[in-house]
Structure 1
Amino acid sequence: MIPYTIPDQTQIGHVHLKVADLDRALQFYRDLLGFTVTTLYGDQAAFISAGGYHHHIGLNTWYSKGMPPAPVRSAGLFHTAILYPTRRDLAVALKRLIDAHYPITGASDHGVSEAIYLNDPDQNGVELYWDRPKEDWPQKPDGSLEMYTHPLDLEGLLGEL
């Protein structure tokens, strides 16, 4: 078989999450994080977006209405990562979480990015992050990325505001 490399311009288009309560999920993704609803499928599903794309996140109750969260120690989605365009935008998101008293499960500096971790109301992992400029990404002597997990300076991040 001839080796294949996916095209460089390929992107992850959207994630579709099973939720137990659509209204509760919308309160988190729309009202707290700020996504816009692009379409509703009655009371069973919603597509939400940033910037007018048809949808970045789909939320549905087709198999999960009223159900408990998936077990943490099982196969499945670890987290959905939401990429913010600037460090200041990530700081605004952090401030909104703090003001809403929404629990954060972690905050890390990965060298290439800074990230805030939390769970949505259905205990789906969510990463809010921004990427440093590519030219600032740390590299190992062999040229590969030097990614790490260090504590994120939350006060420094909030200093962007």
Structure 2
Amino acid sequence: MYKVPAQTRIGHVHLKVSDLGRALKFYHDLLGFELMQQYGTQAAFISAGGYHHHIGLNTWYSKGTPPAPVHAPGLFHTAILYPTRKDLAAILQRLADAKYPLTGASDHGVSEALYLDDPDGNGVELYWDKPRDQWPMDASGNLQMVTEPLDLDNLLSELK
């Protein structure tokens, strides 16, 4: 059976949005992604660290339309991996300062994650991976991911 090479990565996600300016206020102004290139009010490409783009945003088929139905096929969420727990704490503080609502916060054993929706109702997961030697394994060495409540106060203590 074919297996995708271990070095394979998801390169970028391209999201349909109804209002490019509103989407940029979320992804660029609030989350802090760099604007790499913009095509008027139709498309923008944003990244972390100067990469050509991690997220594409466009209104080509979606300008002015309502969010996609929750109970329909489509993307569940885009997951954005932060390098450290302190970085995740910093974005949590930024969201709290902006009074931007979370839809959830979980400790998955392998990672800690914050969940929210962008202005178009697209799910967004902001997370960091715990060191691999801390991942929960059963007696046979099989990964045992969980979904437990994330202690947000403990996460924010990383900033002190």
Describe the SS at the equivalent of 1:159.
Answer: helix
Q: Which amino acid aligns with 1:116?
A: L
Specify every segment of 5 or more residues in structure 2 that has no aligned partner in the other structure, as ranges.
none
1:140 deviation in Å?
Answer: 1.3
Moved over 4 A (4+): none
**CA deviation profile, 1:67-97 (whole Å, cap 9, x unmatched):** 0000000000000000000000000000000
User: Within the alignment, does 1:99 sit opposite 2:97 as a pair?
Assistant: yes
Match in the other structure for 1:59: 57
1:43 deviation in Å?
Answer: 1.4
Partner residue of 1:24 out of 22, 25, 30: 22
Aligned residue pair count: 159
C-alpha separation in 1, matches of 2:101 and 2:83? 23
Match in the other structure for 1:36: 34
C-alpha separation in 1, matches of 2:2 and 2:91? 38
Describe the SS at the equivalent of 1:160.
Answer: helix
Task: Map 1:140-151 onto structure 2 (within 5 A).
Answer: 140-151=138-149
Percent identity between matched residues is 72
- What is the TM-score of this pair, normalised by structure 1? 0.98
- What is the TM-score of this pair, normalised by structure 2? 0.98
Describe the SS at the equivalent of 2:24.
Answer: helix
Q: Which amino acid aligns with 2:63?
A: K
C-alpha separation in 2, matches of 1:145 and 1:35? 32
Task: Map 1:1-161 onto structure 2 (within 5 A).
Answer: 3-161=1-159
Most deviating of 12-21 and 141-150: 141-150
C-alpha separation in 2, matches of 1:31 and 1:144? 41
C-alpha separation in 2, matches of 1:142 and 1:40? 50
Most deviating of 132-141 and 23-32: 132-141
